[in-house]
Amino acid sequence: MTMRGICKYFPGVRALEKVDFTLRAGEVHALVGENGAGKSTLIKVLTGVYGKDAGEITMEGKAISPSSPLEAMKCGISTVYQEVNLCPNLTVAENIFIGREPKKAGRIDWKTINRRAAELLATLNLNIDVTKTLDSYSVAVQQMIAIARAVDVDAKVLILDEPTSSLDEEETQRLFDVVRKLKAQGLGIVFVSHFLDQIYELCDQVTVLRNGELIGEYEVAALPRVELISKMIGKELGDIQSMGKNENFGTDEILIEADGISAFGRIQDFDLQIHKGEVVGFAGLLGSGRTETAELLSGVAKPEKGTLRMSGKDVHFASPLDAMQHKIGFCPEDRKIQGIIGDLTVRENIIIGLQAKKGMWNHISMKEQEKIADQYIKLLQIKVSSPEQLIRNLSGGNQQKAIIARWLVTQPDLLILDEPTRGIDIGTKTEIQKMVIQLAREQHMSIIFISSEIDEMTRTCTRLVVLRDRRKVAELTGADINSDKVMSAIAGGV
């Protein structure tokens, strides 16, 4: 399959400019680039979600131009999207077969559907009850189901858009096994990922995009990692490497103290002291209780046992707003659902936190709003055409920055960032990490930083709390903060 000279324009934005992409049968081809580089757009053109403005796509020598996902599927192009795109209310089996259900005597043959679904999932080493609804399974399992669906439609090209962003290590390996198996069967696989390790582990070729333009196609094995990164972000590497570690340990003053807080299904007996101006990391696998603990600290959920103290006094947060009044800000994990309000402008999204804190009836003048918005857009280098742009039209990284700006405006003492760098590009990731360190050093803000990427945490945090199975299992400081120690703590070998 080849794509030649693909162009795509949106009002005011050049999303793709003369991009070429070639995929051979039996190859795993990585597509990388920063956010806004045009990866998603390229994929959406390929799968018929967007029409292209110029260029041509050929499949086995024949020109195709899919105008809907269904047509793309008929041409043999299947996609598994970053967010699982299946229906939660249908059964697992049905999610795999809907739209092409086997029929018997004019009616849908449920027996065959359930049997074939179970067989298909078994080839992916997944043995689950296919007659249960999709929403009774974890995201990782849902992802595998999505792949099963994509593969089963006689695909020649399989596109995996950030497939591993919600999987843990073991699940990722299982996914890779599946991908290798499919590759051996002669499928061409497009692999979009931010995780360079995974690209080096899995992929044969890599195509780099930047700002909607093609930078080049390379053989993965022949391209050193540093070079790949510099091609992606268009900067020399010194910048990233020189960042070094955060050496700032905060002051002696204790800002908030948790004493044995527990809540069923969230966390058990959690103790923690956070000093002013320090960056504390919560490490652990998905479901280890990282987010749940953050929610207890920020009033989203209430602890059933234990106490929270701020500056020596017991506090109970009745709501997130209450926590906000105590100068605690919580930036939740899923920015699309819990963070941005897509149909409001960037300015409104930034101001909304302050407005909530001040109360509905305290008017903030337009002039002041504009001033604050401009200030933070500049401070965090949010790329917008104007503060009045709708936030949903920004790239993921810039949306994230806007959300962080929202909390900074309320001037919290404690800022909780849950996966602030998930799904955004390396350049912006580095910027956010730098910003976190800066806030702690210059404004003595305390920050809880939650991330699945251990490297990111070891660079940013001065103290690392390791969680496993909803318990705190270790607390690392200073020289102990390195990938090996953290990994072994997570794995349970401290």
- Binding stretches for another protein (CB under 8 A): 49, 68-70, 73, 79, 81, 84-90, 94, 98-99, 101, 107-108, 133, 135-138, 141, 149, 265, 287
Give least dist CB 436 to another protein, A.
29
Among left, alpha and beta (phi > 0; psi -120 to 50; other), residue 464 is beta
Residues 6+ apart with CB under 8 A from 194: 32, 162, 165, 423, 424, 425, 426
CA–CA distance, 413 with 417 (Å, rounded to integer) = 13
Minimum CB distance to another protein smaller for 121 or for 373: 121
Evaluate whether 194 touches 162 at the Cβ level (below 8 Å).
Answer: yes
Tracing tokens 């099963």 back to the chain, one arrives at: 148
Minimum CB distance to another protein smaller for 134 or for 382: 134
Give least dist CB 142 to another protein, A.
10
Give least dist CB 440 to another protein, A.
32
Give least dist CB 412 to another protein, A.
28
Minimum CB distance to another protein smaller for 124 or for 274: 124
For 99-134, b/e burial (b = at least 16 CB within 10 A) is: eeeeeeeeeeebeebbebbbebbeebebebebeeeb
The dihedral sign for the CA sequence 231, 237, 239, 245: positive
Strands 267-275 and 254-263: antiparallel
Minimum CB distance to another protein smaller for 1 or for 159: 159
Give least dist CB 85 to another protein, A.
4
CA–CA distance, 35 with 40 (Å, rounded to integer) = 9
Q: In Å, what is the CA distance from 100 to each residue of 152, 194, 350?
A: 11, 33, 45
Give least dist CB 137 to another protein, A.
6
Give least dist CB 107 to another protein, A.
4
Minimum CB distance to another protein smaller for 97 or for 376: 97
Minimum CB distance to another protein smaller for 287 or for 306: 287
Give least dist CB 47 to another protein, A.
8
Minimum CB distance to another protein smaller for 142 or for 398: 142
Minimum CB distance to another protein smaller for 107 or for 378: 107
Three-state secondary structure call for residue 80: strand
Minimum CB distance to another protein smaller for 79 or for 446: 79
Give least dist CB 168 to another protein, A.
14
CA–CA distance, 433 with 83 (Å, rounded to integer) = 25
Alpha helices (H) in 27-105, listed in sequence order: 39-46, 69-74, 92-97
- Geometric angle at alpha carbon 165, from 160 and 169, rounded to 5°: 105
Minimum CB distance to another protein smaller for 264 or for 361: 264
Q: Which tokens go with 368?
A: 């002041």
Give least dist CB 353 to another protein, A.
27
Evaluate whether 252 touches 275 at the Cβ level (below 8 Å).
Answer: yes
Minimum CB distance to another protein smaller for 12 or for 106: 106
Nearest to 283 by CA among 63, 415, 476, 7: 476
Q: Which tokens go with 445?
A: 């803000």
In this structure, how many other beta carbons lie within 10 angstroms of the beta carbon of residue 438?
13
Q: Which helix (H) or strand (E) holds 22?
A: strand 13-22
Strands 471-477 and 13-22: unpaired
Three-state secondary structure call for residue 308: strand
Minimum CB distance to another protein smaller for 98 or for 223: 98
